[in-house]
A and B are shown apart, each in its own frame.
Chain A
Amino acid sequence: AQKVTQAQTEISVVEKEDVTLDCVYETRDTTYYLFWYKQPPSGELVFLIRRNSFDEQNEISGRYSWNFQKSTSSFNFTITASQVVDSAVYFCALSGVPTRQLTFGSGTQLTVLP
């Protein structure tokens, strides 16, 4: 069975602070994919990133960066110099092979205060 844990239910930061959202996963699959999605207050779900289990390189995209550590089964997401528009619920998700069933974490509500 797959499981994704986002222990941080809510985080508040002040604009320009850096913030890291934690994600820990469990799976028996040797090949799997990890995702992050963003859900802003408007409600839509926006894909941010996908990593496969064989690629442990960290990734940076603008102010966003992701740290994948297979040894600790973690896929953490850092926002540098946060902005008010980053306020959203962020979901970490896991998909195994061959199941291809996407399991979501419970989400982290990030509030960035001006």
Chain B
Amino acid sequence: DTAVSQTPKYLVTQMGNDKSIKCEQNLGHDTMYWYKQDSKKFLKIMFSYNNKELIINETVPNRFSPKSPDKAHLNLHINSLELGDSAVYFCASTPRQGNNSPLHFGNGTRLTVT
């Protein structure tokens, strides 16, 4: 039943490690996103993919690399984790780029880097 699902829900890791967050949507949407929510609750877009093609890539360190194996999946891989990467990461999807439909968000992945 879950529309946009992210795994894991919680991720605790040490500085320098590499980790991945997975996202899958079963809504048939073409466009998927990654958002970062910092400790002050500020939400900022990181990446957007439309039909497996990268369309938005905000100023995000190269250590973050999105991967979209198909239009239902958008995974986020983070290399050499830093303390400042600690945040909640939200995956989201919309039917297609440009139609301004509401975002359907996953429940978030709380990443803690120690």
B100's partner among A95, A107, A109 (CB-CB below 8 A) is A95
Question: CB distance A45 to B90 under 8 Å?
Answer: yes
Segment at the B interface, from A54-62, A70-78, A98-106: A98-106
Residues on A with C-beta less than 8 A from B101 are: 50
Residues on B with C-beta less than 8 A from A97 are: 98, 100
> Complex: how many Å from CA A44 to CA B44?
15
Number of interface residues of B (CB under 8 A): 23
The residue of chain B having its C-beta at the shortest distance from the C-beta of A95 within the complex is B100
Q: How large is the interface on A (under 10, 10 to 19, 20 to 34, 35 or more residues)?
A: 20 to 34
Question: CB distance A91 to B43 under 8 Å?
Answer: yes
Residues on B with C-beta less than 8 A from A114 are: none
Segment at the A interface, from B22-30, B66-74, B76-84, B102-110: B102-110
B98's partner among A44, A45, A47, A100 (CB-CB below 8 A) is A100
Residues on A with C-beta less than 8 A from B45 are: 101-102
Question: CB distance A50 to B43 under 8 Å?
Answer: no
A98-B98 CB under 8 A given contacts A43-B108, A89-B41, A104-B43: yes
Enumerate 19 A-B pairs (CB-CB under 8 Å) in ascending A order.
A33-B100, A43-B107, A43-B108, A43-B110, A44-B105, A45-B103, A45-B105, A47-B104, A50-B102, A52-B100, A89-B41, A97-B98, A100-B97, A100-B98, A102-B103, A104-B42, A106-B40, A106-B41, A107-B41
Known: A45-B92, A89-B41, A100-B97. 6 other contacts (CB 8 A): A43-B108, A45-B90, A52-B100, A98-B98, A106-B40, A107-B41
Binding site for B on A (CB under 8 A): 33, 35, 39, 43-45, 47, 50, 52, 89, 91, 95, 97-98, 100-102, 104, 106-107, 109
Binding site for A on B (CB under 8 A): 40-45, 48, 56, 88, 90, 92, 97-105, 107-108, 110
